[in-house]
Structure 1
Amino acid sequence: MKYEPIKKYSNEEITHILENGTNDDLKLLSMSVGEYSADWKFAQGVCLRLLQTDNSEIRANAILGLSYIARVHRMLDRKIVEPFIEKEIKTNRDYHERVQYAAEDIYLFMNW
């Protein structure tokens, strides 16, 4: 993954990207919502939706987005989020290190 500045999107733009975006758009979306969204539940929902894709990089970045939410807001719904984290740790071989480091950050910031 090459470095690109993270763009800030409105909720309408986020919804549009979720529905019509390319894989390249979707790869960065979770980090944007994790960093910039004022509504942690909305951001969490976006990341969870991105975790439904078949693309392992998008899923890895969705875990990274959740770590941004944990860092910025110190809020995540553990009952909902933790099973997704555990699944990605076990199954995402292509981006295992990214998932592992993001999960460690989530557990640190959330005090889990």
Structure 2
Amino acid sequence: MRYEEPERFEREDLARAQMSGDAGEVCSVLIGLVFHDGDWKWLQDTCLGLMDHDAGEVRTCAVTGMGHIARMYGNIEKDVVTHALERMRMDSKTAGAAENALEDIHIFSS
């Protein structure tokens, strides 16, 4: 397995992916935005919103995105995000990703 940089997307691509109903596409676009958009606050709020998505795959990507935001940008609203991630620890589909994201926030965010 080798690392591949996530593709670059525009915010409008996320809206289109959500309308398509394709969870894999939503995840690809979301992670691409996390790596390339640069607006940590918008990304954080977007991930928070997607933590309530019907598809477990999308919830997991949103949780994973939070860890990436903390690691890459060093900024995150700890109280809000930690509360949301604690809730995600109770979801069997997102529990492991939530643990990892909480650790990343603890290590990398100010």
How many Å apart are 1:101 and its aligned residue?
1.7
Aligned 8 A contact 2:63 2:94 in 1: no
Q: Which runs of 4+ in 1 moved over 6 A?
A: none
Residue 13 of structure 1: aligned partner: 13
Q: Where in structure 2 are there 5+ consecutive unaligned residues?
A: none
Q: How many residues align?
A: 108
Q: Where in structure 1 are there 5+ consecutive unaligned residues?
A: none
How many Å apart are 1:41 and its aligned residue?
1.1
Residue 41 of structure 1: aligned partner: 41
How many Å apart are 1:21 and its aligned residue?
4.5
User: TM-score with structure 2 length normalisation?
Assistant: 0.81
Aligned 8 A contact 2:9 2:32 in 1: yes
1:99 aligns with 2:80: no
CA RMSD of aligned residues (A): 2.1
Identity of aligned residues (%): 24
Aligned 8 A contact 2:6 2:28 in 1: yes
Matched letter for residue 29 of structure 1 = V
**Distance change (3 Å), C-alpha of 1:21 and 1:103:** same
User: TM-score with structure 1 length normalisation?
Assistant: 0.80
**Distance change (3 Å), C-alpha of 1:5 and 1:51:** same
